[in-house]
Structure 1
Amino acid sequence: MKVEIRVSENFKREARRLLKKFPSLQAELMDLQRKLAENPNIGFSLFAPKSPKGDLDAA
C-alpha cells in the first residue's frame, strides 16, 4: 500500500527552528517517516471518543 505523508508549512517552519537546537531531530523524523511507510497504522489516536451526555455528572 502506498502511503503519502504530508507535512504542513507550520510544521516545516517549527522543525527548522528545532533542528538548530536538536540536531538528532532530522534522523528521528526520517526514521518516523520510514516506519510510517512500512506500517501506516502505528501510533495511537489523539482523539478520545465522545462519551454519552450525562457521564460527567456522575463524578
Structure 2
Amino acid sequence: MPTCPLLRIASTSQPMRRPTDRSRWCTLFAILLSMAGIVGWYGLRDMLNAIPDSNDDFTYH
C-alpha cells in the first residue's frame, strides 16, 4: 500500500471509463456548435457594419 495519500486515493478510486461513441459525437457536436456561433457573430457584426449610418449615403449629387 502506498504511503502517499494521493496515491492511495488514486488506487482506490473507480477505474477510468472509456468514452462511448455517443459521448464522442456529443463532444464533437458541441465543438462544432461553438465554432459556428463564433463565425456567426463575426458575420452578423460585418453585416451590421455594412449598413449605412445615415441617409446622406443614399443621396445622389
Whether TM exceeds 0.5 here: the answer is no
Instruction: Report the structure, 1 or 2, having the larger helix content.
Output: 2
| Bigger relative CO (Cα 8 Å, ≥ 6 apart) | 1
